[in-house]
């Protein structure tokens, strides 16, 4: 079960108007220690990814680059634009220990829960 | 301007129906998955088709698909990309399959077709046959 909620964040700045954004598909799996998020970002390599945490909002932006020069589109079915995903975190996470790696167009994000929300065993003495 | 015939996939599945909604609005997010949720079956990924001087290029987004799992086939000028993707997690093994066919533009050198998969994007390069390339003709 996911305790993360997605949220569309409207930023009416000039940059958003100039670029097209597309919301990637994503999946969240919760374990005792962390949230594992996998985001589909086909066409994106390591250098094109930008992840930031601002307060309780995790923002992911990934650019996939344009088709090579000289390519003329005969037909386009794929949605265009770069990826942007904003997730609202309603569980405190350990921001400094966030891990991310991208393989075959899937971005894997590990958000470790912060110590205070991890389950604890209490010994009866 | 030269028109190139482009045909819809051969299997008349639900996804072809979905694609009706894409016509004329390629930049709008696809309605497609809406219907796929109701009708299970082989999914048909979207294809972009490009051209430059030497080649045609077909591009498909296949995130998370391994190179070995993809099957690219060319038969009677129909290009078919298909795969069975198995994903395993701790408590469940999932499998899904997809297949997409497009009609290859005329004048492709079939023996030189090449495919590569990088960052989850499959690019099939379809070289144009020599006779179809634009040529400079020298005046004697």
Q: Are A26 and A51 in contact (CB under 8 A)?
A: no
Instruction: Say whether residue B85 is in contact with chain A using an 8 A CB cutoff.
Output: no
| pLDDT value for B10 | 46
Mean pLDDT on A16-42:
84
Q: DSSP E strands: which ranges in A17-121?
A: 21-22, 26-30, 34-40, 49-54, 57-62, 72-75, 82-89, 99-103, 106-112
Q: What is the pLDDT of residue B36?
A: 44
A45-103, pLDDT tens digit by residue?
888 899 998 888 999 999 887 778 889 888 888 888 889 999 998 888 888 889 999 98
| Tens-digit pLDDT profile for residues B56-105 | 999 998 888 888 889 999 988 889 998 887 776 666 777 778 888 888 88
Q: Say which of B4, B6, B46 has its CB closest to residue A78.
A: B46
Per-residue pLDDT at B26 exceeds 60:
no
User: Considering chain B, what percentage of its residues have pLDDT values greater than 70?
Assistant: 66
**A-to-B residue pairs, Cβ atoms closer than 8 angstroms:** 94
Across the range A103-108, mean pLDDT stands at 90
Question: Is the whole model's pTM more than 0.80, yes or no?
Answer: no
CB contact under 8 A, A104 and B64: yes
A20: closest chain B residue by CA? B27
| Residue of B5, B47, B120 to mutate, interface with A, max A Cβ within 10 Å | B120
Interface test with A, best of B47, B63, B69, B101 (most A CBs within 10 A): B63
> What is the pLDDT averaged over residues B1-12?
55
Contact A106 B64 (CB under 8 A): yes
Terminal-residue alpha carbon distance, chain A: 34
Q: A36 and chain B: CB distance < 8 Å anywhere?
A: no
Q: What is the pLDDT of residue B6?
A: 59
pLDDT band at B31 (very low <50, low <70, confident <90, very high): very low
Say what the ipTM of the complex is: 0.73
What residues have CB less than 8 Å from A121, skipping those under 6 apart? none
Q: What is the 8-class DSSP label of residue B108?
A: B
**Is the model's pLDDT at A25 over the cut of 80?**
yes
Task: Note whether A43 contacts B: Cβ–Cβ < 8 A.
Answer: yes
């Amino acid at each position: 079960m996911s305790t993360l909620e997605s949220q569309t964040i409207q930023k009416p700045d000039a940059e958003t108007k100039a670029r097209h954004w597309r919301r990637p598909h994503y999946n969240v799996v919760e374990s005792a220690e962390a949230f594992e998020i996998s985001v589909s970002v086909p066409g994106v390599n390591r250098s094109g990814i930008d992840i930031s945490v601002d307060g309780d909002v995790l923002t992911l932006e990934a650019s996939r680059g344009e088709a090579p020069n000289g390519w003329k589109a005969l037909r386009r079915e794929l949605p265009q634009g770069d990826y942007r995903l904003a997730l609202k975190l309603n569980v405190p996470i350990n921001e400094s220990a966030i891990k991310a790696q991208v393989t075959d167009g899937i971005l894997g994000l590990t958000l470790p829960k912060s110590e205070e929300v991890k389950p604890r065993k209490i010994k009866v003495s | 301007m030269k028109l190139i015939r482009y045909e819809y996939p051969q299997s008349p599945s639900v996804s072809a129906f979905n694609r009706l909604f894409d016509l004329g609005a390629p930049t709008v997010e696809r309605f497609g998955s809406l219907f796929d949720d109701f009708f299970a079956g082989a999914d048909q990924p979207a294809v972009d088709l490009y051209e430059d001087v030497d080649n045609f290029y077909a591009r498909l987004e296949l995130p998370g698909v391994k190179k070995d799992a993809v099957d690219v086939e060319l038969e009677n000028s129909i290009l078919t990309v298909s795969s069975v993707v198995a994903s395993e997690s701790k408590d469940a093994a999932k499998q899904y399959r997809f297949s997409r066919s497009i009609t290859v533009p005329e004048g492709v050198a079939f023996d030189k077709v090449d495919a590569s998969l990088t960052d989850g994007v499959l690019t099939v390069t379809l070289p144009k046959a020599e006779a179809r390339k634009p040529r400079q003709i020298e005046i004697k």
